[in-house]
């Protein structure tokens, strides 16, 4: 059975595509292709169809990761289609939860920083209006969170309850 992960930020050009591609990098390293699949989306439609931000892509490249994909907007159908929906911050979390007013999928919607193993951050900061150091930090933070998330997902796959 394949586990499907969806990473969500505001515009789907910085944080969530970084998380998606970092997770794909970790999946490939662990030879788990096909067991865990990833996608990303934004709560807003500002950048639909755009590639990842060039500054974010440069920060990822410095860590050996290529950012691929095109921005898309989160849809209500995504809540049912994915096993785990990971928000980058509390505003994104609220936007996701608003698509599920009956609370049917709330158990699968989490903040990605809940899975950090080394960082204390509660949210992934949006680097869009900052400098290079902010983009580098987001990559570092997401490497930690994605590694912890992948470990958690693999453990959950071995037990009947999430």
Q: Is residue 62 among the annotated active site residues?
A: no
Residue tagged active-site, from 53, 78, 89, 126: 126
Task: State the Cα angle at 90 between 121 and 120, rounded to 5°.
Answer: 10
Q: To which residue do tokens 């037990």 refer? A: 159
- Residue 126 catalytic? yes
User: 14 an active-site residue?
Assistant: no
| CA–CA dist 142, 25 (Å, integer) | 12
Rounded to 5 degrees, φ, ψ at 4 are: -110, 125
Tokens of 83: 């096993």
Q: What backbone phi and psi angles, to 5 degrees, belong to 66?
A: -100, 130
Which of 15, 55, 72, 108 is flagged as catalytic?
Answer: 15
Which of 9, 38, 113, 116 is catalytic? The answer is 9
Catalytic residues: 9, 15, 126
């Amino acid at each position: 059975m394949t586990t499907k992960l969806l990473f969500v930020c505001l515009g789907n050009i910085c944080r969530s595509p970084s998380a998606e591609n970092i997770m794909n990098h970790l999946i490939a390293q662990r030879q788990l292709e096909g067991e865990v699949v990833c996608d990303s989306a934004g709560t807003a439609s500002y950048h639909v169809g755009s590639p990842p931000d060039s500054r974010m892509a440069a920060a990822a490249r410095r860590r050996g990761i290529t950012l691929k994909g095109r921005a898309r907007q989160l849809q209500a159908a995504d809540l049912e289609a994915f096993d785990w929906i990971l928000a980058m911050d509390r505003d994104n979390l609220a936007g996701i939860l608003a698509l599920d007013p009956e609370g049917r999928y709330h158990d699968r919607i989490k903040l990605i920083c809940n899975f950090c193993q080394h960082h204390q951050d509660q949210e992934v900061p949006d680097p869009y209006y900052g400098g290079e150091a902010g983009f580098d930090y987001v990559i570092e933070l997401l490497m930690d969170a994605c590694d912890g998330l992948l470990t958690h997902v693999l453990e959950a796959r071995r037990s009947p309850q999430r």
